[in-house]
């Protein structure tokens, strides 16, 4: 591709970003948003033309697909537009809501990439838990409106810090990334062919013996698995060796397509069987973060138990204990 | 190739589709970076880092699909873990700082650099 295309696109995009970061008339900022999104779409389309000229990689016997491009364009435009609105909106609560929009549209992108488990985990964890925490803190730290201007925003939300420098950094970074993406294409090949990948998926089924034996029991009742229930690919079909009831020699039995491990099973198997230590470490990190958050939150508590009870309108306990027993060494 | 597949016709993602997802990921990352540099509200700055995490996750999933290997998806679980831990700690700190100075502006703490 002509190297000036990502350069020009990133330049226009950065200029649009600069305009949107500064306070100005609504029409100007809206126009800049339209120009920026248009440039993004232009870059995507030019990339398509470039790659179509260089030819597609060898794909084995599998059917190549260009995926539903329309849905890609819709969801990524939503994601990019809400991301831009998120960093330009003066009200923090709206920023958090626009980020929810980004999360939802990238969950849709994950679905198109056949990562079903991660799509739903993203919506539950990000939109459901992390963003709620953000909203909660935003409400907690909301500044009381001053006197006669109930809708006035504090300065630090309205005025950006050095929008020009930020736009220049963004331009350099984006130019670098996009030219790398478009130049690097044509050299990268999938690390395995479709056949190998599919064989590896069926191989995972060997770790789920109960599912295999249930399928065998369903297909030919009374037969027993031999060869430890290993999955063999015969004539492009996944099969197992079984001894049928009343027979002496093993025969092969085709497995139905419906027991192919799905995305959740594959991710779970990968997580638990291949990265058990990382999984434990992730748990430790979460635990430590919880401890840290609790310690940080305790820092400001200076009331003893009696004062707390009094504030809640309850009877004093008249416990005569040393104060420093309760403040956890934090309330100095 | 006629290996049975649950829902889909046997499909391989082309480089073309991969470059699209990488482009989206790059743009989201840079928008998050610009937001982190330009915004002065501490909470929004941390929200922008979450946006950068999100961009990284999209790139991982796209590569995972391209190489037909679920390890990229497994890694996104760890990204989510780190993002959740970061959100809890960062927001705890922000609340603490807010109680000290009654403002969310990052500039209020510029004396820390001296």
pLDDT along chain B (114 residues), means of 10: 41 73 92 92 92 95 89 92 92 86 81 75
User: CA angle, corner A28, sides to A25 and A31, nearest 5?
Assistant: 145
Task: Give A325 to chain B, closest Cα distance, Å.
Answer: 22
Indicate left, alpha or beta for A271 from its phi (over 0: left) and psi (-120 to 50: alpha): alpha
Q: Give yes or no for residue A331 having a pLDDT over 50.
A: no
Place of tokens 């004396």: B111
Split at pLDDT 50, 70, 90, the class of A307 is: low
Q: Give yes or no for residue A326 having a pLDDT over 60.
A: no
Residue A289 makes CB contacts below 8 A (sequence gap 6+) with: B84, B85, B86, B88, B89
Chain B residues whose beta carbon lies within 8 Å of the beta carbon of residue A117: 73
Q: What is the pLDDT of residue A43?
A: 80
DSSP of B97-111: HHHHHS--BGGGGGG
Ranked by mean pLDDT, the top range of A43-47, A172-176, A244-248 is A172-176
Distance between first and last Cα of chain B: 66
Q: What is the pLDDT of residue A48?
A: 64
Tens of pLDDT along A221-230? 777 777 766 7
How is residue A273 annotated by DSSP?
I
Arithmetic mean of pLDDT, A300-304? 56
Place of tokens 């990000």: A126
Task: Give A271 to chain B, closest Cα distance, Å.
Answer: 6
Give the C-alpha separation, B85 to A45, whole Å: 38
- Torsion angle, alpha carbons of A288, B44, A169, A37, to 10: 120
Q: What is the pLDDT of residue A329?
A: 46
Q: Does A315 touch chain B (CB under 8 A)?
A: no
Q: Does A1 touch chain B (CB under 8 A)?
A: no
Element (H, E) at A239: strand A237-243
Give the C-alpha separation, A198 to A204, whole Å: 10
Give the C-alpha separation, B95 to B102, whole Å: 10
Among the residue ranges A14-23, A102-111, A235-244, the one predicted with the least confidence is: A235-244
Q: Give yes or no for residue A261 having a pLDDT over 90.
A: no
Among the residue ranges A76-90, A153-167, A243-257, the one predicted with the least confidence is: A243-257
Arithmetic mean of pLDDT, A185-214? 79
Q: Give yes or no for residue A6 having a pLDDT over 50.
A: yes
Give the C-alpha separation, A7 to B43, whole Å: 32
Q: Does B20 touch chain A (CB under 8 A)?
A: yes
The answer to whether the CB atoms of A62 and B12 lie below 8 A apart is yes
Q: What is the pLDDT of residue B10?
A: 44
Give the C-alpha separation, A174 to A170, whole Å: 6
Among the residue ranges A43-57, A138-152, A180-194, the one predicted with the least confidence is: A43-57
Give the rounded percent of residues in chain A with a pLDDT score beyond 90. 22
Place of tokens 């831009």: A84
Task: Give B114 to chain A, closest Cα distance, Å.
Answer: 19
Q: What is the pLDDT of residue A206?
A: 79
Q: What is the mean pLDDT of chain A?
A: 79
Q: Does B101 touch chain A (CB under 8 A)?
A: no
Among the residue ranges A253-257, A321-325, B27-31, B63-67, the one predicted with the least confidence is: A321-325
Arithmetic mean of pLDDT, A85-105? 92
Q: What is the pLDDT of residue B1?
A: 41
Q: Which residue has the higher pLDDT, A312 or A101?
A: A101
Chain B residues whose beta carbon lies within 8 Å of the beta carbon of residue A48: 16, 20
Q: What is the pLDDT of residue B3?
A: 43
How is residue A222 annotated by DSSP?
T
Residue A263 makes CB contacts below 8 A (sequence gap 6+) with: A114, A115, A116, A117, B70, B73
CB-based contact B62:B18 (threshold 8 Å): yes
Q: What is the pLDDT of residue A62?
A: 45
Q: What is the pLDDT of residue A283?
A: 94
Residue of chain A nearest B70, judged by CA positions = A267
Tens of pLDDT along A110-154? 998 889 999 999 999 998 889 998 998 888 887 666 666 656 777
Chain B residues whose beta carbon lies within 8 Å of the beta carbon of residue A97: none
ipTM score here?
0.89
Q: What is the number of helices (H) and of strands (E) in chain B? A: 3, 1
How is residue A329 annotated by DSSP?
T
Q: Give yes or no for residue A330 having a pLDDT over 60.
A: no
CB-based contact A140:A134 (threshold 8 Å): no
């Amino acid at each position: 591709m002509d190297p000036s295309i990502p350069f020009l696109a990133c330049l226009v995009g950065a200029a649009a970003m600069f305009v949107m970061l500064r306070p100005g008339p609504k029409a100007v900022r809206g126009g800049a948003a339209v120009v920026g999104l248009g440039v993004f779409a232009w870059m995507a389309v030019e990339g398509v033309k470039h790659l179509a000229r260089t030819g597609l990689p060898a794909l084995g016997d599998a059917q190549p697909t260009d995926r539903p491009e329309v849905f890609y364009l819709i969801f990524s435009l939503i994601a990019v537009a809400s991301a831009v609105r998120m960093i330009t909106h003066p009200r923090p609560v709206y920023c958090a809501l626009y980020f929810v929009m980004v999360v939802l549209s990238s969950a849709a992108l994950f679905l198109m990439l056949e990562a079903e488990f991660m799509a739903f985990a993203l919506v539950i964890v990000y939109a459901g838990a992390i963003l709620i925490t953000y909203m909660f803190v935003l409400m907690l730290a909301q500044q009381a409106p001053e006197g006669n201007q109930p809708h006035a925003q504090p300065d630090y939300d309205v005025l950006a810090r050095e929008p020009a420098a930020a736009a220049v950094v963004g331009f350099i970074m984006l130019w670098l990334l996009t030219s790398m993406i478009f130049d690097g294409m044509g050299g990268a090949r999938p690390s395995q062919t479709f056949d190998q990948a599919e064989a590896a998926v069926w191989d995972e089924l060997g770790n789920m013996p109960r599912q295999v034996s249930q399928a065998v029991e369903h297909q030919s009742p009374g037969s027993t698995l031999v060869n430890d229930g290993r999955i063999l690919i015969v004539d492009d079909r996944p099969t197992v060796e079984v001894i049928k009831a009343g027979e002496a020699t093993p025969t092969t039995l085709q497995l139905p397509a419906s027991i192919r491990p799905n995305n959740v099973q594959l991710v779970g198997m990968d997580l638990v069987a291949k990265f058990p230590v990382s999984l434990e470490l992730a748990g430790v990190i979460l635990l430590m973060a919880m401890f840290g958050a609790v310690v940080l939150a305790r820092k400001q508590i200076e009331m003893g138990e009696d004062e707390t009870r009094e504030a809640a309108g309850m009877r004093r306990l008249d416990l005569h204990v040393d104060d420093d027993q309760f403040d956890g060494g934090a309330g100095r | 190739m006629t290996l049975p597949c649950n829902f889909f016709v046997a499909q391989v993602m082309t480089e073309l589709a991969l470059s699209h997802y990488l482009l989206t990921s790059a743009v989201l990352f840079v928008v998050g970076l610009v937001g982190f540099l330009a915004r002065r509200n501490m909470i929004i700055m941390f929200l922008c880092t979450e946006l950068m995490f999100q961009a990284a996750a999209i790139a991982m999933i796209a590569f995972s699909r391209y190489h037909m290997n679920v390890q990229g998806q497994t890694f996104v679980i760890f990204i989510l873990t780190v993002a959740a831990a970061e959100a809890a700690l960062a927001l705890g700190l922000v609340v603490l700082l807010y109680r000290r100075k009654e403002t969310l502006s990052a500039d209020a703490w510029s004396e820390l650099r001296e």
